[in-house]
Chain A
Amino acid sequence: MTPYCRIDHVDKVYSRGNTETCVLKEITLDIDEGEYVSIIGHSGCGKSTLLNIVAGLTEATSGGVILEGKHVDEPGPDRAVVFQNHSLLPWLTVYDNVKLAVDKVFGSSKSRAERDEWTLHNLNLVQMTHAKDKRPSEISGGMKQRVGLARALAMEPKILLLDEPFGALDALTRAHLQDTVMGLHQKLGNTVMMITHDVDEAVLLSDRIIMMTNGPSAQIGEILTVPIARPRKRLELVTDATFLKCRQRVLEFLYERHRFVEAA
């Protein structure tokens, strides 16, 4: 059986002049429908490059991505991205930012009223309806990220790509947003691929954690399945033995076997 999404023998080589830098080597990964997969690794290991290849924003040097049996090599709303720095258009209101995506994706299949309703529905999912007429500059970082999430969800993507979505947020806001994402994944059953460098976040949210070795020529070092039943409760997990074990496994991988070597 073909998997829902397959990253097939992806290599990425950047060449500048005569020097070639191999960023990713032989990355092969299958993702099931409805699965939440996190990719963790030290900075510079090419995890964002991998996400960009899946998104179609970066071209793989060899290998490719197959989503629902189709080869994908250019960006599209079926692989919606939540960017690290929200990437909302600052001249549009919160509502219009989401509406832009809705209009583009459902312009021909939904009526005007349906599109309006769908926009509001998605803003409601991330609890941002109250700020729909505000501009991005008038809302907090966490709120911007919520709107970015609403915009991505509104495209009804086959796979949702999160590029360190909580990286720029303070700890409390981050926890709050993680709970939101966890709730939405539970409710909507999206397939999610998330880039992160936060071990707790990876263990809390993921079904599987893909641990990447250090670059250059980064590879998948280890894959850890997180056998914790959903719905997961943040507070209960603090003392949960399985959680702690998973956390330890990831920490060991990152800090003992694949310590971050500072490039000169």
Chain B
Amino acid sequence: MNMPLVKTDNSQTIAAVTGAPAAAKVLPLTFKRPALQSKFVGKLRDVAANLVPPIVMISLLLIIWEMLCSKTGATLPPPSRVLADTWELIVDPFYDRGGIDKGLFWHLSASLQRVALGYALAAVAGVALGTLVGQSVWAMRGLDPIFQVLRTVPPLAWLPLSLAAFRDSQPSAIFVIFITAIWPIIINTAVGIRNMPQDYRNVAAVLRLNPLEFFIKVMVPSAAPYIFTGLRIGIGLSWLAIVAAEMLIGGVGIGFFIWDAWNSSHISEIILALIYVGIVGFILDRIVAGIASIVTRGTAAN
């Protein structure tokens, strides 16, 4: 039987335990100010502990770079030269002298627009196809082999084909982004749907949720952590592909900016553009990760 058989003993023990702390004296808190100060100092120390290592490492790398590239005969410019050469681009990213002679902001924003469109299409189509493949055994058997082969095709290999199909650079670039980002989204969504616990299906069955309610209220939230893993891989791949695609299609865009700088032997500009590409890619990843952590709050921890 699952019951406290020795109830009287129990209550005595409790009384004995609660009696103990009463005997201890409670000391008043007299040193309030120093406590507050040390808390502030502690927080500052935490911030410093996180900031100092990267600052040290970056400075160290810059010094090594400066030393290596300052020698005569160095093929790449040292950071001081890069800064001097590109100062105009850094301080005025918004200039627009017509054609392709625009500030870095415009190049980045053109690239981001292409990525946004291609990635949004990939997200919608990827989640839909992933759901289909995850839900239906027949669809999985039919489509999975095709997906597995197509996903290994490098993004740029699609470009000539899409140029032939669309006969325009803009939709071709967007298609390349789409086709690059869609595979991880499909595959992760399918895994998420397939891994949905049977319990949730049972609950939905008992409640008689219709297929649409089941999809919105159970399936999508249940697979959300997986879907967002796919979306996060997808955004990274999109940003990788856009730079390469833009080098080939030309026009406005950060990829073309790099290619153009290479053709005019502005190595410093290439380096600046690479730093911007890295930072933007990092920010994109953080944005998707941030949305994921808000949307899937509580879902991962069961």
Binding site for B on A (CB under 8 A): 55-57, 74-77, 79-81, 83, 85, 87, 89-91, 100-101, 104-105, 135-138, 155, 171-172, 174-175, 178, 198, 200-201, 204, 234-235, 238
Query: Are A91 and B221 in contact (CB-based, < 8 A)?
Result: yes
* B157 within 8 Å of A (CB atoms): no
Query: Are B2 and A91 in contact (CB-based, < 8 A)?
Result: no
Query: Are B206 and A175 in contact (CB-based, < 8 A)?
Result: no
Which one of B3, B202, B207, B217 lies within 8 Å of A83 (CB-CB)?
B202
Query: Are A137 and B3 in contact (CB-based, < 8 A)?
Result: no
- Provide the bound-state CA to CA distance between A120 and B55, in Å: 54
Which one of A74, A87, A89, A178 lies within 8 Å of B221 (CB-CB)?
A89
Query: Are B209 and A174 in contact (CB-based, < 8 A)?
Result: no
Query: Are A89 and B208 in contact (CB-based, < 8 A)?
Result: no
Interface string of B211-228 (1 = CB under 8 A from A): 001000110011010000
What is the total of A-B residue contacts with beta carbons within 8 Å? 82
List the one stretch of B27-35, B250-258, B293-301 in contact with chain A: B293-301
Task: Select from chain A the residue with minimum beta-carbon distance to B209.
Answer: A104
Provided the pairs A85-B199, A135-B298 are in contact, do residues A91 and B224 lie with their beta carbons within 8 angstroms?
A: yes
* B302 within 8 Å of A (CB atoms): yes
Binding site for A on B (CB under 8 A): 1-5, 7, 197, 199-200, 202-203, 205-209, 213, 217-218, 221-222, 224, 296-299, 301-302
Task: Select from chain A the residue with minimum beta-carbon distance to B213.
Answer: A104
- Provide the bound-state CA to CA distance between A210 and B276, in Å: 72
- Provide the bound-state CA to CA distance between A81 and B209, in Å: 15
Query: Are B203 and A79 in contact (CB-based, < 8 A)?
Result: no
Provided the pairs A175-B2, A178-B2, A238-B5 are in contact, do residues A87 and B202 lie with their beta carbons within 8 angstroms?
A: yes
Interface centre among A55, A75, A76, A136 (most CB of B within 10 A): A75
The residues of B that contact A135 with a CB separation of less than 8 Å are 297-298
Which one of A90, A104, A238 lies within 8 Å of B208 (CB-CB)?
A104
- Shortest distance between the CB of A64 and any CB in chain B (Å): 18
Query: Are A77 and B3 in contact (CB-based, < 8 A)?
Result: no
Query: Are A90 and B299 in contact (CB-based, < 8 A)?
Result: yes
